[in-house]
């Protein structure tokens, strides 16, 4: 009983405080990284084109690393065709085309880390 009382009154609060500090520091680093990524210049789109962007990838996911681009400039893209693959610490996913047309520009490179919402490809719709 004495040991349980000691654990509950002395040890547990210290463990909980330490866990809270660790979580706060992790969240602070994540927000700082997202702020830096948002400051990078966003590319200009070729005239008459629409951007395919990095979609929301889950709660707390602010950025993704481009793994590969599946299409080339001049290539036709159908709606929902996979056009790129991105990776985060939580998920790896293919990005589908949100518009049909012809690829007018590739706006990122493999290995580049970009924020959610960043344009990946420019597509001229039909």
pLDDT at 31 over 80: no
Which comes out higher in pLDDT, residue 31 or 102? Answer: 102
Could you read off the pLDDT of 32-80 as tens digits, one per residue?
Answer: 666 666 666 778 888 899 999 999 888 878 889 999 999 999 999 999 9
Is the distance from CB of 91 to CB of 64 less than 8 angstroms? no
Q: Could you give the count of Cα atoms lying within 13 Å of 98 in the half-sphere of its Cβ?
A: 13
pLDDT at 30 over 80: no
Task: Using a pLDDT cut of 90, give the percent of the chain over it.
Answer: 47
Among 72, 78, 79, smallest CA distance to 103 is for: 72
pLDDT at 89 over 80: yes
pLDDT at 14 over 80: no
Residue 91 backbone dihedrals phi, psi, to 5 degrees: -155, 150
When the pLDDT of each residue in the chain is averaged and rounded to a whole number, the result is 85
pLDDT at 125 over 90: no
Residue 52 bridge partners (DSSP): 121
pLDDT at 86 over 90: yes
Q: Give the Cα separation of 21 and 79 in Å (integer).
A: 45
Task: Using a pLDDT cut of 70, give the percent of the chain over it.
Answer: 89
pTM summary value? 0.69
Q: Give the Cα separation of 21 and 15 in Å (integer).
A: 10
């Amino acid at each position: 009983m004495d040991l349980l009382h000691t654990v509950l009154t002395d040890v547990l609060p210290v463990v909980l405080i330490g866990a809270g500090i660790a979580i706060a520091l992790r969240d602070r680093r994540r927000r700082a990284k997202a702020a830096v990524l948002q400051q990078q210049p966003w590319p200009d789109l070729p005239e008459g084109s629409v951007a395919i962007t990095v979609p929301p990838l889950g709660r707390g996911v602010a950025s993704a690393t481009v793994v590969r681009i599946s299409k080339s400039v001049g290539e036709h893209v159908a709606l929902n065709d996979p056009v790129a693959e991105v990776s985060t610490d939580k998920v790896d996913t293919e990005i589908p085309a949100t518009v049909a047309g012809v690829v007018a520009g590739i706006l990122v490179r493999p290995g580049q880390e970009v924020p959610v919402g960043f344009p990946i490809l420019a597509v001229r719709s039909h």
